[in-house]
Structure 1
Amino acid sequence: MRNTFLALICLCVQFAFAQPDSLFIKPITPKDELKELRPEWTQKNKATFDLSEVAFVNWNAGGSNSISGLLGIRSEANYKDKYFFWNNNVSMRYGINKQQSREVRKTDDLFEINSNIGYKPDSISNWFYSARLNFKTQLANGYKYPNTDEPISRLMAPGYLFFGGGMEYGKHIEELSFYFSPVTLKATFVLDEDLANAGSFGVTPAVLDENGNVIVDGEHVRKEVGILVTNSYKMQVAENISMVHQVNLYTDYINNFGNVDMDWRVDFDFKVNSFIRATLGSHLKYDDDVKTTKPSEVEGEFDEAGAKIQWKQFLGIGFAVDF
């Protein structure tokens, strides 16, 4: 992941300093610049629902009836004046899929809180002294289907907290941001006893005796301190097509410095009218603490296979409502 880290750093810097103003979703006019000088609170709330469905009747090529739904809710409360900004948002997503003769399965599950505050001593500068907090977890149990007897994840298992400070560049901070933090705390929570004892998500596993009995319980929290680099921007691809890009890169000072955890999202929004839209998203993740397994030579047992890149893609059609 070291080469990937350097490549993405270069990409972030390129977008932060070379991105033309014409790509911003909200072009800034002189009237907007005057408005930015006044203290202002803004609040936005948005609910979305995406649906996909396939049905077959006497279809000689075969197939399985299925229906999928994804519900999303996002709330923002942001402050801005001549020297300060403070952006806050809460997001929730939950998706399910039902196929013929198969149980309902979870397709997406996220609860996330973000808070970002910045100060610049010069009203002309685009550099901010900034602090960030990010917290995310899930709402429901996750399973390695078709096994639904043993959850592989739960509420707050895992939960992730990032908190740190650094410098942030943003000509118009809501549309374009490049953030560098030399000191960021990362805490991984695994509050489920069974998952903690198994050492899931990088926490220290339980100590067992020769009969498999727990002598010392597994730890529920793993703490790290390292470097965090983030880049985000919004751009108008076409008249009714917008794109949002977000990438987070983190490396821990103590545990294998230079081995980078990555979280990269790219989402396209295709607007049909005021309510109907289509979405296309890609989510790429790599966490060195999240290990995979492979079947062992001993039947019924598994060996650790190391961390692997995780990727999720989504395409849906639905509606969005601002409230």
Structure 2
Amino acid sequence: MKKISALLLFCVCFFSQAQITDYHKLIDSINQKKWDSSGVDIDSLANPRIVKIKTARKDSVKLNSNIVVAPNAGDSSPLTPSSMLSLPTLKRWFIFGQNSLVFNQSSFANWYAGGNNNIGVLGKINYNIVYKKNRHYLDNNIQMGYGLVSSTGQSTRKTDDYINILTNYGYELAKDYYLSTGFQVLSQFTPGFNYANTPDPTYNDRISKFMAPGYLNVGLGFSYNPNENFQVIMRPLNGKFTFVLDKKLQFAGNYGLERDGQSLRAELGAMLNVLYKIKLFKDATYVNQINFFSNYLQHSERIDINYVGSLNLKFNKYITTVVSLEMMYDHDQIQKLQRKQTLGVGITYNLGYKMERDSNTGVIKPFIN
């Protein structure tokens, strides 16, 4: 029986192999190639390569620079640590620049009430360069302005001229409190004249010039800054230096000089500076800044006071109006109240980004101002 079964199995294998013709072999090779081309290579999964696909929201933007411009403000008030901390960004450098140009012109022809043709121009810049990292805060503020007016029958006269450079370093001691140190330099660009006494002055009629006078304040203390609208800087140790680097003006009594030929007067005392900003309504703010200085060495009861008030009105992106009032009393210079008032309507261009965060998406939206 076993012999018969083995014989039958041999016959089946022989005849089945005989059925595989060359035609069947061609079909099998085509099928095999198709399988090889579409099949998965299991061995290739041993070293997989992951491709990162970048996605971005339509309303988002990436700031590649490490320099970010602080929020646009319609006023010239300084940036404070509180305003930096409230920004929707983790950048360290902040820049904000404000450039203003004001023109005035009047022309008369057969005008019964009379008048004098004149044209005037006034340019101002105000830049804040701020660094904020962890507890460290560095503020650099540069303010400069120069104005001229030319009238028929009169020489060109200066209407405004100032240089104000301030640097302040703060270290956060506690919430809203900072250890504060820094310096301030004040002066002017060109000679100044008393046009009431010399209507057509020459250079020899000058009563002031660059660094005559010039002021340097250096101090150490602390500051309190609970919000961007209020700041107090108190420096119990503050040096005030008055420079008069013009021999013609180095006479006793001029700018507080104590003797003829003196080019530098040094004072040591305490300084208090208060900043308070009021938002009257949309696009209208009033900035108050007052500074007190008391000399420890001579007549500490005679306190130097300097107040600056600035009303800022913004009509649109470029047109602004600024009304400023500055009052100063320094017993050593002149025992009277010094006052300066200016009104300007002109073009203002703010350099930088205004940072805003979308309330719905949380995305920062900067735009050139």
TM-score by structure 2 length? 0.68
Q: Amino acid of the residue matched to residue 167 of structure 1? A: F
| Corresponding residue pairs, total | 266
Q: Which has the larger radius of gyration?
A: 2
Q: Is the 8 A contact 2:78 2:141 kept in 1?
A: no
Cα RMSD (Å): 2.2
Q: Secondary structure at the match of 2:299?
A: coil
Shift of 1:224: 0.1
Which residue of 2 is the match for residue 183 of structure 1?
A: 237
8 Å CA contact 1:275–1:320 kept in 2: the answer is yes
1:308 matched to which residue of 2? 336
Which of 275, 285, 304 is 1:242 aligned to?
285
Match of 2:220 among 165, 179, 184: 165
Give the match's secondary structure for 1:308: strand
Among candidates 85, 88, 93, match of residue 41 of structure 1 = 93
Query: Are the aligned partners of 1:167 and 1:179 in contact in 2 as well (CA < 8 Å)?
Result: yes
- Give the drift of 1:198: 5.1
Contact 1:136 1:159 in 2 (8 A): yes
1:278 aligns with 2:328: no
Identity %: 30
Deviations 1:156-177, CA, capped at 9 Å, x for gaps: 00000111011211013x5321
SS in 1 for 2:207: coil
Instruction: Give, in whole Å, the separation in 1 of the partners of 2:315 and 2:267.
Output: 44
Query: d(CA) in 2 for partners of 1:226 and 1:64?
Result: 48
Out of 128, 135, 142, which is 1:83 matched to?
135
Checking the alignment, whether the CA contact within 8 Å between 2:78 and 2:128 is kept in structure 1 is no
CA distance in 2, matches of 1:34, 1:229: 27
SS, match of residue 201 in structure 1? helix
Q: Tell me the residue number matched to 1:153.
A: 208
SS of residue in 1 equivalent to 2:245: coil
Aligned to 1:54: 106
- Residue 44 of structure 1 deviates from its aligned partner by 1.7
Match for 2:312: what amino acid? D
| Residue matched to 2:168 | 116
CA distance in 1, matches of 2:229, 2:315: 22
The Cα of 1:40 is off from its aligned counterpart by 1.8
SS of the residue aligned with 1:110? strand
> Once the two structures are superposed, what CA deviation does each residue of 1:119-164 show, in whole Å capped at 9, x if it has no partner?
1233xx1111111311110000001115223100011000001110
Contact conserved, 1:43 with 1:78, CA < 8 A, in 2?
A: yes
Q: How far off is 1:204 after superposition? A: 2.8
Answer whether contact 1:48 1:72 (CA < 8 A) is retained.
Answer: yes
- Is residue 284–residue 311 contact of structure 1 (8 Å, CA) maintained in 2? yes
Distance 2:307 2:267 in 1: 20
Separation in structure 1 between the aligned mates of residue 211 and residue 250 of structure 2, nearest angstrom: 11
Do residues 259 (structure 1) and 313 (structure 2) align?
no
Q: Is the 8 A contact 1:25 1:236 kept in 2?
A: no
**1:138 aligned partner:** 188
**Is 1:25–1:234's contact at 8 Å kept on the other side of the alignment?**
no
8 Å Cα contact 1:25-1:235 kept in structure 2: no
> CA separation in 2, counterparts of 1:33 and 1:273?
25
Deviations 1:246-298 (A, max 9, x none): 1111110112111111111111111111111111110111112213xxxxxxx
Alpha-carbon displacement from aligned partner over 1:64-120 (angstroms, at most 9, x marks no partner): 222222111222210123422211111110011222211111111101110111112
C-alpha distance 263-178 of structure 1, shift in aligned 2 (>3 A): same
Cα deviation code 1:25-47 (max 9, x no counterpart): 99xx9xx74847x4521012221
Q: Distance in 1 between matches of 2:238 and 2:87?
A: 35
Alignment correspondent of 1:92: 144
Q: Which residue in the other structure is 2:259 paired with?
A: 205
The one-letter code of the counterpart of 1:186 is: K
Q: Distance in 2 between matches of 1:88 and 1:256?
A: 32
Q: Hey, what's the Cα distance between the residues in 1 that align with 2:218 and 2:108?
A: 50
| Deviation by residue 1:175-208 (Cα, 9 ceiling, x = unmatched) | 32111111100000000011114552112332xx
Name the structure 1 match of 2:263.
Answer: 220
Q: Which runs of 5+ in 1 are unaligned?
A: 1-23, 207-217, 292-306
Correspondence for 1:321 among 322, 338, 349: 349
Distance 2:234 2:158 in 1: 35
Would the aligned equivalents of 1:70 and 1:95 in 2 still touch at CA under 8 Å? yes
The amino acid of 1:157's aligned partner reads: A
